[in-house]
Amino acid sequence: MAEKRFIIKKEDTQTLARVGKMRTAHGIFNTPAFMPVGTRATVKTCTPHELKGIGAEIILSNTYHLYLRPGHDIVKQAGGLHKFMCWKGPILTDSGGYQVYSLSPLRSISEEGVSFRSQIDGRKHFISPEKAIEIQNALGADIIMIFDECTPYPSDYEYAKNSMELTLRWAERCKKAHKNPHQLLFGITQGCVYKDLRKKSVEATVALDFPGYAVGGISVGENKELTYEILAYTTPLLPKEKPRYLMGVGRPEDIVYGVSCGIDMFDCVLPTRNARNGAMFTSSGIVKIRNAKYKTDFTPLDPNCNCYTCQNFTRAYLRHLHIENEILAHRLHTLHNLYFYLNLMRGIRQAILNNTFAKLKDDINALVSLGALNSPDGTKQRL
């Protein structure tokens, strides 16, 4: 009998949160998991050794960007993405659907696929579901995604319905095109903010029997309250025995809420992007290191953090590096923010195991209520 790929070790008694393990061709990762984003085969400013050192177990890379440069054929010649970027652990590649969505002025969607112009040099390209699988097969990631249309918000019901059905047809084509048994192909559910479409999308996608499922088209412009409502409705519809992935959503309070709904996997550029902009996540809220009040602050960035940055440098020094636009600032800030996120995931897993997840939610809510972890739209959303 084949070993199960996904094992649930413990379920929370008050929510749908669970702790598990996911087995892939390049190793096992613990869930709930946060995947640092390595868009172009690199997590910006960090070496693979450093990522492993702060606890990263799986990372994400971007199919669209690697297709454009250096090209999936080159990555394949290098021995695949793992060898190309010297990362020995699991990798997930998205299909490029979201990037195509974000290029709306430069693309055209048809039944066959998407025609678009590269934002690099203006050249015309075409990606079909079959092409998306071909690219991801060449990259060699452990988990790959179907090619979907990320339905924009707002969309009227008819557009959302047609978009969701197109994604379903593309999912069938992706599954038919996928031939590598060592790569796990995940399905993606859509449906915008319409619950009946979400339900139909889940039912039809699950009928295709993928080894894992993602909730797509979330947090693409709708308010936080609606995001949470759709997430809480959709996630429990997905098979309990398979991993569930929330794509591209990743403020700390969003992660905790997603876990409470039964989500197992997350990714987001927020910790690395914020780091480069000088905004750091700490146990007492976000620190904007450019602020003048840190000029003579010789305390650690976060006295409760054990990362390399906090154990060795002061806020005054980090502000100095940031003001001077030193490369070291980006590195130290990124290491800290990613450590914060990965440590948050460790804390979430331990809280579920200890039956204290409800308290962890309350602690995060307290920071939100104080305005320390404001949502992107400035609202203070309770979990």
Flag the least confident range among 69-83, 289-303, 338-352, 369-383: 369-383
In the chain, the DSSP E strands lie at 6-11, 18-24, 27-31, 33-35, 59-62, 91-94, 107-109, 114-117, 124-127, 143-145, 184-189, 213-215, 244-246, 265-267, 279-282, 285-288
Tokens of 309: 């940055």
The confidence score (pLDDT) of residue 101 equals: 73
The confidence score (pLDDT) of residue 107 equals: 85
The confidence score (pLDDT) of residue 206 equals: 98
Backbone angles phi, psi at 235, to 5 degrees: -55, -45
The confidence score (pLDDT) of residue 372 equals: 56
Among the listed residues 148, 254, 264, 267, the single catalytic one is: 267
Q: pLDDT band at residue 97, thresholds of 50, 70 and 90?
A: confident
Question: Per-residue pLDDT tens for 156-185?
Answer: 999 999 999 999 999 999 999 999 999 999
Among the listed residues 12, 94, 148, 264, the single catalytic one is: 94
Q: At what angle do helices 315-323 and 327-353 cross, to 10 degrees?
A: 130
The confidence score (pLDDT) of residue 363 equals: 86
Judged against a pLDDT cut of 80, whether residue 378 lies above it is answered with no
The C-alpha angle 240, 145, 23, rounded to 5 degrees, equals: 55
94 is catalytic: yes
Judged against a pLDDT cut of 90, whether residue 365 lies above it is answered with no
CA distance 297 to 317: 9
Average pLDDT on 322-337 reads 98
Average pLDDT on 245-264 reads 96
CA distance 276 to 79: 31
Burial 193-217 (b: 16+ CB within 10 A, else e): bbeebbebbbebbbeeebebbbbbb
Flag the least confident range among 232-241, 291-300, 355-364: 355-364
Question: Per-residue pLDDT tens for 194-205?
Answer: 999 999 999 999
Judged against a pLDDT cut of 90, whether residue 368 lies above it is answered with no
Question: Per-residue pLDDT tens for 263-307?
Answer: 999 999 999 999 999 999 999 899 999 999 999 999 999 999 999
The confidence score (pLDDT) of residue 186 equals: 98
What structural domains does the chain harbor? 6-269 (3.20.20.105), 274-369 (no CATH)
DSSP at 155: -
Average pLDDT on 3-8 reads 93
Q: pLDDT band at residue 87, thresholds of 50, 70 and 90?
A: very high
Flag the least confident range among 12-21, 106-115, 200-209, 229-238: 106-115
CA distance 38 to 151: 24
Mean pLDDT score across all residues of the chain: 94
Judged against a pLDDT cut of 60, whether residue 341 lies above it is answered with yes
CA distance 188 to 190: 7
267 is catalytic: yes
